[in-house]
Amino acid sequence: MLNGWLITFEGPEGGGKSTQVQRLAAYLRSMNLPCTLLREPGGTPIGDRIRQILLDPTLREMTQRTEILLYAASRAQLVEERILPALKRGDVVLCDRFVDSSLVYQGYAPEWDLDEVKAINRIATGGLRPHRTYLLDLPVDESERRLKKRGKLADRIEQKGQGYHERVREGFLRLAAADPQRYVVVDATDSEDRVFERIRADLAAFLGIEEKEVDR
Ligand SMILES: Nc1ncnc2c1ncn2[C@@H]1O[C@H](COP(=O)(O)OP(=O)(O)OP(=O)(O)O)[C@@H](O)[C@H]1O
Ligand SMILES: Cc1cn([C@H]2C[C@H](O)[C@@H](COP(=O)(O)O)O2)c(=O)[nH]c1=O
């Protein structure tokens, strides 16, 4: 039986997903709630190797189906090796990206057959779905500004053009609008602290965490 919670974080690059996942994990642990932090692609030794291939900017010849399948392969490994055991233990699993990233980056943005991406991911996850998803929404120019500031060379996905990344943003907003019960859209241009407080308050209510002001 799966007693835990799968909470996912989605959105364009530089939206602050990793930053917020770290802060939320510290908060949950301070409330004595066991949690597991994961990221995609990766999160397992095999997934981390697949990640290197997927993001390598020199591998320009990668076909669209290979890209879809590699993201799904990393995800299949993560689900079986890390996510399901953590959910069985009753952990709150905080996952930096999940299936919705594939629906948007491999389906909606390149205008690929969305049903194909969904079908492959159903196989990869066995149909596992997040309980709650936070979309850290950010305009493309701000995403680029943050990535430049980080000073890291653009990876294979970041190198796709501005039009592609505009569609990534639009794709996430459409997913969120189609599933308002699961999705919470957060304005990621707000300060780190305000973004954190918005997500923390929502997650605490969602998980039914009773807290005293002094605990924070
Ligand atoms: N609310 C914020 N305001 C301004 N800068 C922020 C904010 N949140 C995060 N940052 C900064 O933006 C950069 C990207 O943050 P982070 O790595 O957490 O984003 P991410 O969504 O995980 O990115 P990626 O998808 O590329 O891994 C970092 O330099 C971080 O310090
Ligand atoms: C899970 C997943 C990710 N991507 C893309 C999105 C990013 O550009 C990179 C890596 O993610 P990170 O958050 O920057 O660490 O991969 C994707 O295209 N499809 C996916 O399913």
pLDDT 10s digits, 79-90: 999 999 999 999
Q: Whose CA is nearest to atom 9 of ligand 2?
A: 157
State the pLDDT at residue 62.
98
Distance CA 167, CA 133 (A): 19
Name 82's Cβ contacts closer than 8 Å, sequence gap at least 6.
36, 38, 43, 44
* CB distance 15 to ligand 1 below 6 Å: yes
Q: Are 167 and 109 in contact (CB under 8 A)?
A: yes
- pTM score of the predicted model: 0.97
* CB distance 146 to ligand 1 below 6 Å: yes
Nearest Cα neighbor of 116 from 126, 102, 129 is: 102
Distance CA 28, CA 137 (A): 23
Q: Are 97 and 17 in contact (CB under 8 A)?
A: yes
Structure ipTM: 0.98
Q: Please check if 13 is assigned to a binding site.
A: yes
Ranges of residues in the chain whose predicted pLDDT is under 50: 214
Q: Please check if 11 is assigned to a binding site.
A: yes
Q: Please check if 17 is assigned to a binding site.
A: yes
State the pLDDT at residue 213.
55
Residue 106 CA to ligand 2 centre (angstroms): 10
State the pLDDT at residue 204.
97
Domain boundaries, the chain: 5-209
Fold of the 5-209 domain: Rossmann fold (3.40.50)
Amino acid at 182: R
State the pLDDT at residue 215.
52
State the pLDDT at residue 212.
60
* CB distance 189 to ligand 1 below 6 Å: no
